[in-house]
Structure 1
Amino acid sequence: MEERIEEAYELKKAKYQDLADVYRDRGWRTWIFTVEVGCRGFPSQSVWTMF
């Protein structure tokens, strides 16, 4: 299993949360889908959830 996948998920989600909030305030429906793939090619659980 790859290391830091959960941390990468939280960092990416926080990075784009403000942008998603701006567009929600404008009446758009927005979702944040993060995709984390480790250096050895292991996709995280969020990839399978997104699909």
Structure 2
Amino acid sequence: GQVEHVAEWKVELVVADELIHASVKALKAAHPYETPAYEVWRLTDMVF
């Protein structure tokens, strides 16, 4: 195999529950690698 060098960016976004699957699908479709690295975190309101 050959080492590939490309410019990379970190992307963060906040989406509604009903949009998370479509958002991840779009990320995967747009990414040049076969398996992009990404994380999904659920945000919650916590009162202290």
Tell whether the structures are fold-level matches, with TM greater than 0.5: no
Q: Which has the higher contact order (CA 8 A, sep 6+)?
A: 1
**Greater per-residue helix proportion:** 1
Task: Output the TM-score relative to the length of structure 1.
Answer: 0.37
Q: Which structure has the bigger radius of gyration? A: 2
Task: Output the TM-score relative to the length of structure 2.
Answer: 0.39
